[in-house]
Amino acid sequence: MEPRSFDVGELAIPSEPAGPGWADFAAAAAVRNAVEEDAYGTGVLAHSAEEQLPAWLTQQHEPRRLFVARVDGVVVARAVYETLADPTSDFAWFTVEVLPAFRRLGLGSALADLLDAIAATERRTVNVVYAMSPDAPGERLWAPTGFGSVPVGNPEVRFLLRRGFHLEQVERGSILLLPVAPAALDGYRSAAQAVAGDDYAVLSWTGPTPQRWLDDLALLYTRMSTDAPTAGLHEPEDVWDSDRLVAEQAASCTGGRVALVSAALHRPSGRLAGFTELSVPTDPRRSVEQDDTLVLREHRGHRLGMLMKVANLQHLAQQFPEQTAITTFNAEENRYMLAVNEALGFVPMGYEGAWRRVSAAAGSAGSSATTDS
């Protein structure tokens, strides 16, 4: 391909739609959508720029920076640099996305080099990348978990291997076409409730978390970072409290998507034992996203995952009957949750690899320690 010049730079995040910097932010959002559509063969995962903006408005809790590459002044690639609010954490998460028509021009390498330089300056020596890997024939690279693989010949796989990353986990993207037969949901819910027994009940709400459950849900969000399967990624604890939860949800409400939550109440303690969350878009042609689902370790074995997910599907059917599909992502080794999803009718849509690299800290002979999850 003929070499072309390009410019790389950081974007200032607009404070609101149509504010200063909005056109560039919207162009970067469109890159994200186009790259995902190319990888998965469907546009149902798209988020409008308005829907993507809230994630950038709570920097005090989730620091992140956005970079773009331009060709002839047009944004054709983007990169995201994310860290924890804890300045002592050695973790950084990278995303690099280039429009298909502009690949093999060096844009991805330039953006990745920039992220590497920032991480080195900040002594973020453990870097994690989640990269979409479309299926392809030929040799496979298997995750150390023994569950899932990616095609060795894929450009993103070769790119990450060259940069010193190691595949640690494979995640499955799945899709459920709606509606699900009400009788089937009733049957699943009754069977799950029979196993859960009288000690557990389901609560459901739309939008921000009721005041009574803020502390419990903050604990569940924190435990998502330690209790969900992360294989050899060893991702650190991400601490939530009620103030962070309120701030994040207030920002999210400005983007147009609506959260539907169902939670399992442990009656004897009066505390939440688990939760599941759906994110509903304004456009029913795009998928509802199944976000976090977690049952606390001490409450597992009671079919609460199935109970909560079915309750939230019923909640969705009542509140938003026009929705046409739900998408979700799960670690391939998370066989329990995959079994629940498959029983409900989810089918595979695509896969992505979770990659990790540990480098020496600047001015140090070795890498810093990581936190086991």
Q: pTM (2 decimals)? A: 0.93
Token pair of 118 as six digits: 């920032």
pLDDT of 3 reads: 58
Residue 263: per-residue pLDDT: 98
Decide: residue 281, CB within 10 A, 0-12 exposed, 13-18 middle, 19+ buried. buried
- Identify the pLDDT of residue 373: 26
Residue 158 main-chain phi, psi, to 5 deg: -60, -40
pLDDT of residue 19: 86
CATH topology of domain 175-349: Aminopeptidase (3.40.630)
Do the domains 7-173+353-358 and 175-349 sit in the same CATH topology, yes or no?
yes
Tens-place pLDDT, residues 190-239: 999 999 999 999 999 999 999 999 999 999 999 999 998 899 999 999 99
Dihedral of the CA atoms 349, 62, 100, 140 (nearest 10)?
-50
- Per-residue model confidence (pLDDT) at position 18: 87
Q: Residue 364 has what pLDDT? A: 40
Fold of 7-173+353-358: Aminopeptidase (3.40.630)
Which segments of the chain have a pLDDT < 50? 1, 362-373
Q: Provide the residue ranges of all domains of the chain, joining segments of one domain with +.
A: 7-173+353-358, 175-349
The pLDDT value recorded for residue 367 is 32
